[in-house]
Structure 1
Amino acid sequence: MQIKTPERLTRSVKYILNPKKTNVPYVETEKDFPVTFTEDKKMMQLVSGHQISNVNYADQEFFLTKIMANASNGNPDNSDMNNPNRVMAHHIVQSFAPDENLTPEEIHELGRKTVLELTGGDHEFIVATHVDQDHIHNHIIFNTTNSTTLKKFRWQKGTAKSLKYISDKHADIAGANILSNTMKNSYKKYSAYQRKNNFKIEIKERLNFLLKHSTSISDFKEKAKALNVIIDDTGKNVKYRLADMEQKRNTRDDTLSKRGKYSISNIEKIVSKNVSVFSQSEIKNEYEKFKVEKSDDFEMKILVEDWQVKEETKNGIYIDIDYGLLNSGAILVPSHQVNKLNDGNYNIFIKKKDFFYFTNSDDATKNKFMTGNTVAKQLSHDNQHLVLHKNQYISKLDQIIKDFEYLSLKGVSTGQQFSDLKKQFEKQVHETEKELSVLDEKISRLNKIISAIDGLSSDDLRKVETSEAILSDLKIDKSTKRGDLNKTIEEVKFERQVLNKQFHDIVEKYKTYQGVKENVRDRENDTIKNKEVKR
């Protein structure tokens, strides 16, 4: 909440310092809380300040700092004291669950740590912990004028998000529960980030599942209801909406696919080829299984050593990490993406497009999202362990084999549904072979770069000139370290080795399945011939 007038600031300070809201029975503590007596009971008031001499006069101390700032800049129009459009202070409320297992004093300390990190410790502030309701909560008011530079604190687009992540982090480390209604950007939702902001992704995923497991348009529509997809086909275009998400506008089929994949006529054409599908009673559970398997999939596996982990909590691990020059902070990797090893180290499993929120405890203006790809590179750089990549084609081939196995269990080895899946498999095999060639080219290029880097130190001038020409042609800096290149080439070689092995294993599975199918077909033909002979 913004405070824009001196009168409002004075009222706010008086409100949050109310002894009826902040007094608790006295206990021994390292904090210098004010001591009071109520009906002969020794009490202490859960209020404190930073760069404040007396919390009861915090508003006046804020004013003095602002008057000094006004005198320094010499522009009365920029005065917080005289201009009602300028923000004098920010008022923050930090709430905790009613059944919280922390003491009021510990909750107060969480508020102090949160505002210290948000402001960098250069702004006056007061913290008051209210204990008069069923849930304990902190009130924080901080001066927008920096006590050191006399410049203003700018509450920008990402500041609220930064505040929530900082609060989450300190609450999690202390063992507090993270309230979903106040911590809307908690990491639990990061994996659904795109789907919450782009419903098309989730709609297409559900429709694609239904296209594989419906046998008619009526069957498709009934199963769509089970997956919370609302279909309106009364107009020229089919319109889709997710009933279990806050989707305000319908999504037209032509915005999902330019080729009309999700039009009614095309749906009818596709599902009419299906022979064996999940029933209406099975569809929801099977889709949820599919979603779990997909979310558990990963692209990169990284070893994190114990010295890189700042804290381990029930929600995951906080990892110390650098994000650029002189910018150190921490990220949270959630527990479902972490395996703790017997030696105290950790394996984390992430995807390139995952998002992790980086918090710099010394400068909150540097807080920002990091992609999984950036996180992997930085962690690997810090501990010199290889990033193990799981190539995307492995998951694609695995899924097709699962579909083959499903049809096999249902006794389906012919028909359009089987034929389409076979074509899909053959196309994927071709694309995987191309991907293996791309990895070969990448390895060849890296070898070329390494040989040129080595050539720079040659005593032969011609070799040096040739090496410089190669690096210039490949747009590689001559200062590139050989060790970094060696690590990169090992990662690419490992990725290719794993993909190649999985590729051949899956192809063999397919051949085995095809062999069984051929045997079944031969036996069926023999049976038909025998019947004809008997006639």
Structure 2
Amino acid sequence: MAITKIHAINRSTKAAIKYIIDPLKTRNGELVEGIHCDVPTASFEFEMLADMSHRYNGNYERVGGRDVDGIRRHQSAKSYHLIQSFSPDDHVTPEEAHAIGVQLMRELLGNDYQFVIATHVDKDHIHNHIVFNAYSMTTLKKFRSQPYITANRIKEISNRLTAEHGLSVSLRRDEQLEKNGFVHEKDVHQSFRAELRRRLRFVASRATSPEMFDQLCEQLEITTTKRGQDRG
């Protein structure tokens, strides 16, 4: 089973890359790879592309710049850090885990984004750390990360790839209960209703039509029913 997580890097991409390529964690750097960039200069290359995006697009607020008309703005994501952790029970090799991580990023990003991938073998479970640029090489636009939707998309790709490699997949709460008769401890304390409310608030803030509402609900695994002309 592979568990995936993603978060935005708002401060130092250089520090994040330095952490993930640690020789003590990556078999002396053997399990480190740069895609569309050189690992030693990756953070600088990321910054150069971001600068090109700022110059080309002009709208600094939209593309994540810090100053708009002399007013300091909140700085948005410079890059993203994705983690893919494999279960010790899968007995995946570091090389196989690394290859699955590269496949995951190829499907998620196409051929449009720079990224550095490092496979860590310092713990009992092998895991990939991936830092990718927030800016596209082809469009100079920013990667669009949407709460829940992006994470679910990553999980779907990861599950399919791990299944293709003969590994187990990460189950949803209801699937865990049906298969095992219990839910993992970290999920027991999560309030189902609170999570549902968070997801519904997200859908309500994004949906501009009934069709879009249904589409977002499906992506977030929310089941809707209709009562007459209303949803219940």
Q: Is the 1:93–1:140 Cα contact (8 Å) retained in structure 2? A: yes
Match of 1:167 in 2: 158
2:52 paired with 1:68? yes
2:100 paired with 1:100? no
Relative to structure 1, is the Cα distance of residues 163 and 145 closer, same or farther in structure 2, using a 3 angstrom cutoff? same
Following superposition, the deviation at residue 99 of structure 1 comes to: 3.4
Q: Within 5 A, what are the aligned runs for 1:324-335? A: none
Q: Quote the Cα distance in structure 2 between the aligned partners of 1:136 and 1:56.
A: 23
User: Per-residue displacement from partner, 1:37-84 (whole Å, max 9, x unpaired)?
Assistant: xxxxxx6610112211x1122111110111111110123444545354
Q: 1:144 aligns with which of 116, 134, 140?
A: 134
Where in structure 1 are there 5+ consecutive unaligned residues?
Answer: 24-42, 197-243, 250-366, 371-535
Higher helix share: 1
2:120 paired with 1:114? no
TM-score (normalizing by structure 2): 0.67
Q: Quote the Cα distance in structure 1 between the aligned partners of 2:189 and 2:31.
A: 41
> Greater relative contact order: 1 or 2 (C-alpha under 8 angstroms, separation 6 or more)?
2
Q: Is the 1:161–1:185 Cα contact (8 Å) retained in structure 2? A: no
> One-letter code of the match for 2:49?
T
Q: Within 5 A, what are the aligned runs for 1:213-252? A: none
User: Per-residue displacement from partner, 1:221-258 (whole Å, max 9, x unpaired)?
Assistant: xxxxxxxxxxxxxxxxxxxxxxx997778xxxxxxxxx
> One-letter code of the match for 2:56?
S
Q: 1:46 aligns with which of 14, 27, 31?
A: 31
2:26 paired with 1:16? no
SS in 1 for 2:89: coil
Match of 2:172 in 1: 185
User: Alignment identity in percent?
Assistant: 36
Match of 1:3 in 2: 9
Q: Is the 1:165–1:186 Cα contact (8 Å) retained in structure 2? A: no
Q: Is the 2:86–2:92 Cα contact (8 Å) retained in structure 1? A: no
User: Per-residue displacement from partner, 1:440-471 (whole Å, max 9, x unpaired)?
Assistant: xxxxxxxxxxxxxxxxxxxxxxxxxxxxxxxx
> One-letter code of the match for 1:118?
L
TM-score (normalizing by structure 1): 0.30
Q: Quote the Cα distance in structure 2 between the aligned partners of 1:75 and 1:248.
A: 40
Match of 1:176 in 2: 167
Q: Is the 1:165–1:185 Cα contact (8 Å) retained in structure 2? A: no
> One-letter code of the match for 2:58?
G
- In terms of Rg, which structure is larger? 1
Number of paired residues? Answer: 177
Q: Quote the Cα distance in structure 2 between the aligned partners of 1:246 and 1:148.
A: 40
How well do the aligned residues superpose, as a CA RMSD in angstroms? 3.1
SS in 1 for 2:114: strand
Q: Quote the Cα distance in structure 1 between the aligned partners of 2:191 and 2:16.
A: 38
Following superposition, the deviation at residue 172 of structure 1 comes to: 1.0
Following superposition, the deviation at residue 136 of structure 1 comes to: 0.6
